Amino acid sequence: MTNAQKFGQQALKFSAGNIKCQSSTTRHLALIHHNLGDHIMAIVHARQSRKLAQLAGNPMLEARALHIEINCLQAIGNYALGISLCQTAHNLLELCMSDGLPSQAIMNSQAEILTSKSEYREARLIYTQLLAKSPLTLSPYHHILNLLNILFIDINTDVSGNTVLQEINILQGILNKLEQYKNWDKWFISMCAEFQLREGDFLPAETGFQRCLNLSWGSDGENVTFCLQALADGYRWGAKVRLTWATLLLVNSLKTKQKVSIHKGLQFMSHFFLCLGDQHTAHSLLTLALEGFTDMDIHQSKAECMLHLGEISEQRGDFSRALQLWEQAKPLFKRSSQTRQLALVDEKISQIQPHLQADQQKLVLLSELHPPSGLAQTQMIKM
């Protein structure tokens, strides 16, 4: 148990008899567990806090408890319930006639869920609205947060390198001036590493992610998960095998019960088996991952699994199945604004066209050599 948890438990004892204080203290315990990556226990405390807030007749406290639960639901991949609770929280805040920071916090959580589902256009729109509500001079903390979130989306939606570098330079300038917000440095380093990975600068990217991981372990579960996911994705690192990182991601995800990361771990583990030439195991892992991503409705991850499953089908000579998978992946890549991947799929479909035509010709020849039994009998009667 950390010192924060110990003090939180003591505060809960001291608040006995005061429902409002109990709600606030329980909410702080939920926040501690959330920051440590124990999202299930955080949800338990957040729901206790919400019940206490309802007993106290305090909609603001109830909305704040919901905010933590929403963030935890986003972390474990329960997006449908998270989006539903966002609306509930907005309704509570309307009762309080609040359009300030609590309302913006719920908007931010909603945008995070949309980002997790790879609905980047909608998420970016919300972050842009939040940025306008949080000028640097009045709300530097939230201004930096919104800039980081916009930067992440732009990196992952193939926005031009020059534009991304401009955003990085703006953020770096702000962080250099505002020493009191150095706690954002970890995420800034992560975003720089993410951009370097996108551009194929593997060595500085790996150094950045590992540095962030060392800074975040035990204190920032969200950043730990982000770095592990990036380091484990062998499909993004060229020929480098990432088995150790994929294993570590799976272990950490199982420990923290993060459904998204568990399935990403399965997806990334498939790369290792493909490198070994074990298509059967890779296919099984990708199929399991695809089922999970389909259940959570994560467009980009679904499309990535379909892309790789199609590649396995292509290698097996099953070109019609490859075509089917790639055609299914195209609208998902489009939905998640993945222009590079969309172009890659179109190229792959174009490359297998000769094989598809050859297969079609074989079917025609076979049908001529072996006509359906009913047709053959009719022809014999005519003779």
Closest CA to 158 of 189, 118, 190: 118
Tell me how far apart the alpha carbons of residues 188 and 152 are, in angstroms, rounded to a whole number.
10
Residue 58 CB partners (closer than 8 Å, separation 6+): 20, 23
Query: Which sign does the torsion angle of CA 258, 264, 266, 268 carry?
Result: negative
Mean pLDDT score, 355-374: 73
Over the chain, what is the mean pLDDT? Answer: 90
pLDDT at 382: 47
pLDDT at residue 149 tops 60: yes
pLDDT at residue 372 tops 80: no
Q: What percent of the chain clears pLDDT 90, i.e. is strictly above it?
A: 74
Which residue shows structure tokens 């089922």? 291
Residue 115: pLDDT band (50, 70, 90) is very high
- The CA angle 86-225-222, to the nearest 5 degrees, is 45
pLDDT at 383: 44
pLDDT at 375: 47
pLDDT at 204: 97
pLDDT at residue 1 tops 90: no
Mean pLDDT score, 226-241: 90
Residue 197: pLDDT band (50, 70, 90) is very high
Closest CA to 133 of 115, 108, 97: 108
Mean pLDDT score, 277-283: 97
| CB-CB contact of 34 with 75 (8 Å) | yes
* Tokens describing residue 373: 């039994």
Residue 341 CB partners (closer than 8 Å, separation 6+): 303, 304, 307, 329, 333
Residue 245 CB partners (closer than 8 Å, separation 6+): 228, 231, 232, 268
CATH number for region 1-116? 1.25.40.10
Instruction: Provide the residue type at 194 as one letter.
Output: E
pLDDT at 380: 46
| CB-CB contact of 253 with 261 (8 Å) | yes
pLDDT at residue 276 tops 60: yes
Q: Where are the domains of the chain?
A: 1-116, 117-200, 298-365
Mean pLDDT score, 66-74: 95
pLDDT at 299: 98
pLDDT at residue 26 tops 80: yes
pLDDT at 381: 47
Q: What percent of the chain clears pLDDT 70, i.e. is strictly above it?
A: 91
Residue 139 CB partners (closer than 8 Å, separation 6+): 133
* Tokens describing residue 59: 């909609």
Tens-place pLDDT, residues 282-309:
999 999 999 999 999 999 999 999 999 9
Q: Which residues of 355-383 are buried (b: 16+ CB within 10 A; e: fewer)?
A: beeeeeeeeeeeeeeeeeeeeeeeeeeee
pLDDT at residue 379 tops 60: no
pLDDT at residue 30 tops 70: yes
Residue 327: pLDDT band (50, 70, 90) is very high
pLDDT at 137: 93
Tens-place pLDDT, residues 76-89:
889 999 999 999 99
